Amino acid sequence: MPSLSEAFREDPLHLHLNKLLDFNSIQELPDSYAWTQIGEHHTTINPNFPSNSCHGDENVPIINLNDPNAPKLIGNACKTWGVFQLVNHGIPLSLFDDIERTGMALFSLSTHQKLKAARTPEGMSGYGRARISSFFPKLMWSECFTIVESPLEHFIQLWPNDYTKHCDVVVEYEKVMKKLAQKLIWMVLTSIGISKEELKWAGPKDGPKEACSALHLNSYPSCPDPDRAMGLAPHTDSTLLTILYQNDVSGLEVLKEGVGWVAVPPVPGGLVINIGDLFHILSNGSFPSVLHRVLVNRTRQRFSVACLYGPPSNVQIRPHPKLIGPNRPALYRPVTWNEYLATKAKYFNKALSSVQL
């Protein structure tokens, strides 16, 4: 089976990691990180401008997994928002403390040390900027460490004497998140009448074993000029779904059609669940992948972990036959996760329309 980490082989990306900033030593926003000019005003919803958040009363739904109505509420949230926050999911909070401790330990290493685990241009794993960086003229105020399969090779470089405990945390975190992702996917599919027998690769037998996932550990250092900076530029995830843990610092926003950018404030113990492009394809557009971005602030470092969950990398994802009919033709051609990642690396936010029929 082709491995997920091979998706970028054809499309190497040079992110000039040697120019990575030591964010903590910067007193003034360098021009290469300034997304707007001083005093510039933004009255329209341009996703590339930081300062146009919406402060209306529309909120991303918060859903209690123990609520007997949870499957229905989740189905509705996915249809109307493409995102929701999940509480009472049963995952011990100590696991979030553990992964946050590992992430913070990683990002507080010196730049020199972190670069020992730098992502290669063809690779997916390791330390660097977000891969989407190359599609924007300005740099983002964040650092990202991506883990695909095992973190061992990189963690040995970062912590030669102390890597085991950090590896154990990551392995446990990934295992628990995959299980939750599986459960949520079934809840969403059941809400539109698709049963486990109808989607073999995601079924109880194959799913948990073969499904692929990756982790993004993200750090958004405090920023001397947050109104002109961007933590993470607007994008959709190339996943079935993404489970996001965020520390208690705000910054995440999602774009809601007809409303604008809506903040997703941290909820204690809560997880943010995003619909990704592959679920968008599988649902023939019924569950839209959600555009999201991260803003930064002047005083507090924000930390997040995104678990990017997808199907086995060589399974073709296509609009489900139950969601196709005479009045609703298939909107997308079949793609594997590997293929889609390569497409995204080329076309970025136009990737979904590039696989449209």
Ligand X SMILES: O=C(O)CCC(=O)C(=O)O
Q: How far apart are CA 238 and CA 131, in angstroms?
A: 12
Q: How far apart are CA 221 and CA 22, in angstroms?
A: 10
Contact flag: residue 86 with ligand X (CB under 6 A): no
- 236: part of which helix (H) or strand (E)? none
The residue among 71 and 231 lying less far from Fe ion, judged by its C-beta, is 231
User: Binding ligand X by CB under 6 A: which of 191, 238, 246, 313?
Assistant: 246
CB of 320 to ligand X, least distance (A): 25
Q: Is 302 a catalytic residue?
A: yes
Q: What are the phi and psi torsion angles at 102 (to 5°)?
A: -65, -45
Contact flag: residue 252 with ligand X (CB under 6 A): yes
Contact letters for ligand X, residues 190-229 (x by CB under 6 A): --------------------------x-x-----------
For tokens 């489900």, the residue is: 320
Contact flag: residue 292 with ligand X (CB under 6 A): yes
Q: What tokens does 174 get?
A: 């990934």
Instruction: From the list Fe ion, ligand X, none, pick the one residue 232 interacts with, judged by a Cβ distance below 5 to 8 Å according to partner type.
Output: ligand X
CB of 180 to ligand X, least distance (A): 17
Helices (H), 159-304: 163-191, 207-210, 277-282
Query: Binders of Fe ion among 202-241, rule CB under 5 A?
Result: 237
Residue 32, exposed/middle/buried by CB under 10 A (0-12, 13-18, 19+)? exposed
CB of 67 to Fe ion, least distance (A): 26
Q: What tokens does 332 get?
A: 């997308």
User: Binding ligand X by CB under 6 A: which of 140, 232, 255, 335?
Assistant: 232
For tokens 């023939």, the residue is: 284
Amino acid at 180: L
Distances (CA, A) of 325 to 316, 329, 331: 20, 6, 11
Residue 204, exposed/middle/buried by CB under 10 A (0-12, 13-18, 19+)? exposed
Q: Single out the catalytic residue among 9, 293, 302, 333.
A: 302
As a whole number of angstroms, the longest Cα–Cα distance in the chain is 62
The residue among 174 and 237 lying less far from Fe ion, judged by its C-beta, is 237
Contact letters for ligand X, residues 322-351 (x by CB under 6 A): ------------------------------
Say how far residue 307 (Cα) sits from the centre of its chain.
7
Instruction: From the list Fe ion, ligand X, none, pick the one residue 78 interacts with, judged by a Cβ distance below 5 to 8 Å according to partner type.
Output: none
Q: How far apart are CA 60 and CA 73, in angstroms?
A: 12
Stretch that binds ligand X, among 40-48, 52-60, 244-252, 333-341 (CB under 6 A): 244-252
CB of 22 to ligand X, least distance (A): 20
Binding site for ligand X (CB under 6 A): 216, 218, 232, 237, 244, 246, 252, 292, 294, 304, 306
Binding site for Fe ion (CB under 5 A): 237
**Catalytic annotation, residues:** 302
